[in-house]
């Protein structure tokens, strides 16, 4: 505490505490998106019975001036205010609270006046307060002078004088010019990051660009990817994510199905980045040139998509870094460089980068240069490979440096690791995060996990991007559950979160595993592949339908509005989403068993949707297109996964009409 006796004025007696949103005492920013309303709340109080006023102040960090909005008392000394966010990037906000002396005076004055007490001194006190506020006024000083003139003119007319002092005109004028003597504020402003809406609402589609062609055993080109854009757009995806597109090393190159003995024409793993033709800022010549890439970025934009690049900070033994900066790697006692390992797995074609290098500043700057290189080529989104194997403080620095001039850039954290590490990366600046959804299959674990993600303080800084599969992970439920499991898991991913993605081949229900592993056999990580995008058994129409439903329903575009409801059978998960004004209400019921049909009663509170008990409302099931009326929040459902694993209802409240006069 500072030396109070050294202050020239008495310290403020106001207390401000329990401010929300606040991440780790203000160490990290809360996250919102353009168009959101930031709601800030706090406990604000002081000794005695004085009235108080409080203001939420907010500014972009590049601006010197604060914007402010007055806070309102909610209940029990809890105050809150909402502020509309219109600018991208880093912001900060604070709270200033002070004794509202005129409101305190007005409350006491009116009580004494109504009780018939002598209020002559109270009038003099009120005039002093008015003069103090007049001194603060500029544009409205004439208005103050007029009121003061009327008060002086009515000295011998007490009733008129009292009405002036108690009137709305003076009260509103004083509200705009309250002295802030005795004000208290936060010790330091709290940070806020405002992202693009696509940080919260997006549909991702992952591809290996080299597998977009039609010639077996040959790499596709960026032009082949351009030819695929209409089909990907038609399915409803707006982020097209590329695995690494850089030159691939020759040393210890992997062959088909991860063999250590590749054929001469095997292309290698894209994550073994770098050879004599360049590293992380270069493009594999088989895909095309930089000019071809920029044409692709522009073509994607015309199809209302953006390209997301994989940022994988590792290098093949042939990467230029290995010659120019060997100290950026882990050098072993025999002078060799350590390969990447995750025992018992070993990646002989990859060197992990050593962030404990004595030359760490140059390494950090090089990574910043690489990211900005791609940003300058039109890339606004990066999926970061294994960020949890690099220092969190590095990511906080890198993302902050990029956002300083490019606040629209989005970073997705691909960290399947310990929960606290995943959360720390989100706090450090990642706009989106992979989650454990990939392995959450049963009702209670799904419900518990998504309550944590969307209905606790975690939602202030971590947006879960749900992937039911990745190029590294073919979950057991997809291997064994077949097409019904693919549809069921897609419904969950697309509706539990506002941002989700699939790895290409999902729409084909591709599920041939490596025996005993959650990995794809004949994975395109190790080989060129040509896909039959129309092969029998595909669920392209289902993917297209769900993405269309997401586009048409704003409730599904919000992240933290998820609410769970009860279903009698534990094989069913029931949940809903609604917009704040209840203009769009969605209810989802899912049979989590891909093998057997089940039936149940499910229950939801109609009053949460603005309905009265017994009131009839219209329901449209969006998968089948059927419409009907319900009048209660308990309903029966039978779901056979060989028909449909899930249903999604749109609930419409009908306007209430008590009386219509049809007379002429």
Confidence band for 12, pLDDT divided at 50, 70 and 90: confident
Would you say 592 and 598 are in contact if contact means Cβ atoms under 8 Å apart?
no
Mean pLDDT of 31-49: 95
The predicted structure's pLDDT at residue 657: 52
* 447 inside domain: yes
pLDDT at 664 over 60: no
240 and 387 in a single domain? The answer is yes
Mean pLDDT of 242-257: 97
Q: Look at residues 355, 283, 282 and name the one whose alpha carbon lies nearest to residue 325.
A: 355
Would you say 262 and 352 are in contact if contact means Cβ atoms under 8 Å apart?
no
pLDDT at 387 over 90: yes
The predicted structure's pLDDT at residue 3: 73
Q: What are phi and psi of 627, to 5 degrees?
A: -125, 150
* 297 inside domain: yes
d(CA 573, CA 495): 12
645 and 574 in a single domain? The answer is yes
Mean pLDDT of 134-150: 83
140 and 107 in a single domain? The answer is yes
187 and 147 in a single domain? The answer is no
Mean pLDDT of 92-102: 95
531 and 461 in a single domain? The answer is yes
* 141 inside domain: yes
**Average pLDDT score, the chain:** 94
pLDDT at 177 over 90: no
pLDDT at 7 over 80: no
Q: From 110, 144, 175, give the residue that closes a domain.
A: 175
pLDDT in tens, 272-321: 999 999 999 999 999 999 999 999 999 999 999 999 999 999 999 999 99
Would you say 19 and 40 are in contact if contact means Cβ atoms under 8 Å apart?
yes
d(CA 338, CA 330): 6
What is the count of structural domains for the chain?
Answer: 4
618 and 503 in a single domain? The answer is no
The predicted structure's pLDDT at residue 9: 74
Structure tokens at 191: 């940070």
Annotated active-site positions, please? 385, 414
Sign, CA dihedral 123-128-131-137, equals negative
Cβ-Cβ contacts under 8 Å for 402 (sequence gap 6 or more):
368, 371, 372, 375, 409
The predicted structure's pLDDT at residue 154: 66
pLDDT in tens, 469-501: 999 999 999 999 999 999 999 999 999 999 999
90 vs 160: which has the higher pLDDT? 90
Would you say 230 and 265 are in contact if contact means Cβ atoms under 8 Å apart?
no
pLDDT at 2 over 90: no
The predicted structure's pLDDT at residue 39: 97
Q: CATH number for the domain including 54?
A: 2.60.40.10
> Which of 219-228, 336-345, 571-580, 583-592 has the least mean pLDDT?
336-345
106 vs 623: which has the higher pLDDT? 623
The predicted structure's pLDDT at residue 336: 86
pLDDT at 658 over 70: no
157 and 17 in a single domain? The answer is no
pLDDT at 456 over 80: yes
pLDDT in tens, 494-520: 999 999 999 999 999 999 999 999 999
> Which of 155-169, 591-605, 614-628 has the least mean pLDDT?
155-169
303 and 365 in a single domain? The answer is yes
* 216 inside domain: yes
125 and 243 in a single domain? The answer is no
55 and 149 in a single domain? The answer is no
d(CA 235, CA 222): 20
Most trustworthy range by pLDDT among 44-48, 136-140, 175-179, 367-371 = 367-371
* 406 inside domain: yes
SS3 of 40-98: EEEEEECCCCCCEEEEEEEEECCCCCCEEEECEEEECCEEEEEEECCCCEEEEEEEEEE
pLDDT at 659 over 70: no
The predicted structure's pLDDT at residue 170: 84
The predicted structure's pLDDT at residue 661: 64
pLDDT at 153 over 90: no
Give the C-alpha distances (Å, rounded to integers) separating 143 from 136, 162, 164, 174.
13, 18, 13, 11
Would you say 55 and 93 are in contact if contact means Cβ atoms under 8 Å apart?
no
pLDDT in tens, 318-373: 999 999 999 999 988 988 888 888 787 778 899 999 999 999 999 999 999 999 99
Q: Look at residues 377, 255, 389 and name the one whose alpha carbon lies nearest to residue 312.
A: 389
Q: From 534, 556, 578, give the residue that closes a domain.
A: 556
The position carrying tokens 């109270």 is 122
Cβ neighbours, 10 Å, residue 573: 25
Mean pLDDT of 587-608: 97
Q: Look at residues 181, 169, 186 and name the one whose alpha carbon lies nearest to residue 104.
A: 181
* 663 inside domain: no
pLDDT at 18 over 80: yes
Q: CATH number for the domain including 270?
A: 3.20.20.80
The predicted structure's pLDDT at residue 113: 85
pLDDT at 122 over 60: yes
The predicted structure's pLDDT at residue 663: 64
pTM, 2 dp: 0.94
User: What number of H helices and E strands is found in the chain?
Assistant: 14, 29
The predicted structure's pLDDT at residue 306: 98
513 and 494 in a single domain? The answer is yes
SS3 assignment, position 619: strand
The predicted structure's pLDDT at residue 24: 97
The predicted structure's pLDDT at residue 138: 81
d(CA 275, CA 265): 16
* 337 inside domain: no
Sign, CA dihedral 243-247-249-253, equals positive
Q: From 556, 575, 606, give the residue that closes a domain.
A: 556
- In terms of residue numbers, what domain contains 16? 4-99+182-194
419 and 303 in a single domain? The answer is yes
* 333 inside domain: no
Q: CATH number for the domain including 638?
A: 2.60.40.1180
């Amino acid at each position: 505490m500072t030396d109070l006796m050294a202050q020239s004025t008495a310290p403020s007696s106001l207390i401000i505490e329990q401010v929300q949103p606040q991440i780790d005492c203000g160490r990290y920013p809360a996250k919102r998106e353009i168009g959101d309303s930031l709601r800030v709340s706090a406990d604000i109080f002081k000794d005695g019975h004085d009235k108080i006023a409080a203001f939420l102040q907010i500014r972009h960090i590049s601006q010197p001036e604060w914007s402010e909005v007055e806070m309102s008392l909610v209940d029990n000394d809890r105050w809150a205010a909402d502020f509309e966010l219109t600018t991208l990037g880093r912001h900060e906000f604070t709270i200033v609270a002070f004794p509202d002396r005129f409101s305190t005076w007005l409350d006491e004055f009116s009580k004494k006046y109504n009780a018939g007490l002598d209020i002559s001194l109270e009038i003099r006190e009120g005039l002093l307060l008015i003069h103090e506020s007049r001194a603060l006024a500029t544009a409205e000083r004439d208005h103050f002078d007029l009121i003061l003139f009327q008060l002086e003119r009515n000295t011998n007319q007490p009733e008129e004088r009292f009405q002036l002092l108690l009137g709305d005109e003076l009260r509103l004028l004083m509200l705009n010019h309250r002295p802030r003597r005795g004000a208290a504020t936060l010790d330091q402003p709290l940070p806020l990051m405002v992202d693009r809406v696509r940080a919260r609402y997006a549909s991702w589609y992952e591809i290996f660009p080299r597998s977009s062609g039609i010639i077996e055993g040959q790499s596709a080109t960026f032009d082949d990817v351009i030819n695929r854009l209409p089909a990907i757009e038609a399915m409803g995806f707006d982020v097209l994510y590329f695995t690494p597109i850089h030159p691939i090393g020759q040393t210890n190159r992997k062959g088909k199905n991860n063999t250590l003995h590749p054929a001469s024409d095997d292309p290698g793993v894209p994550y073994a980045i770098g050879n004599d033709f360049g590293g992380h800022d270069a493009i594999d010549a088989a895909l095309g040139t930089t000019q071809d890439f920029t044409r692709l970025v522009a073509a994607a934009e015309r199809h209302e998509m953006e390209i997301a690049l994989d940022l994988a900070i590792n290098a093949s033994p042939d990467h230029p870094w290995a010659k120019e900066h060997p100290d950026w790697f882990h050098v072993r006692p025999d002078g060799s460089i350590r390969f990447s390992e995750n025992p018992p797995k070993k990646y002989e074609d990859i060197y992990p980068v050593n962030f404990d290098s004595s030359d760490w500043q140059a390494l950090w700057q090089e990574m910043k240069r690489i990211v900005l290189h791609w940003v300058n080529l039109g890339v606004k989104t990066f999926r970061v490979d294994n960020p949890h194997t690099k220092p969190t403080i590095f990511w906080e620095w890198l993302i902050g440096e990029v956002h300083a001039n490019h606040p629209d850039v989005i970073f997705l954290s691909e960290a399947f690791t310990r929960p606290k590490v995943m959360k720390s990366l989100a706090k450090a600046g990642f706009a989106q995060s992979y989650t454990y959804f990939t392995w959450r299959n049963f009702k209670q674990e799904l419900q518990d996990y998504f309550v944590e993600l969307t209905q606790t303080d975690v939602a202030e800084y971590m947006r879960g991007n749900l992937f039911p599969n990745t190029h590294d992970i073919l979950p057991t439920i997809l291997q064994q559950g077949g097409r019904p499991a693919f549809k069921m898991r897609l419904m969950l991913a697309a509706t539990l979160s506002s941002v989700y993605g699939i790895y290409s081949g999902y729409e084909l229900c591709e599920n041939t595993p490596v025996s005993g592993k959650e990995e794809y056999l004949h994975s395109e990580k190790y080989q060129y592949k040509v896909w039959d995008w129309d092969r029998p058994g595909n669920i392209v129409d289902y993917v297209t339908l769900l993405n269309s439903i997401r586009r048409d329903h704003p409730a599904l575009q919000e992240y933290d509005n998820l609410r769970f409801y009860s279903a009698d059978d534990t094989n069913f998960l029931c949940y809903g989403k609604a917009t704040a004004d209840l203009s769009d209400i969605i209810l989802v019921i899912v049979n989590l068993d891909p093998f057997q049909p089940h039936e149940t009663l499910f229950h939801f509170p109609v009053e949460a949707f603005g309905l009265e008990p017994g009131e009839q409302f219209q329901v449209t099931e969006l998968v089948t297109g059927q419409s009907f009326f319900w009048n209660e929040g308990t309903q029966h459902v039978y779901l056979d996964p060989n028909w449909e694993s899930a249903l999604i209802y749109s609930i419409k409240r009908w306007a209430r009409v008590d009386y219509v006069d049809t007379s002429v």
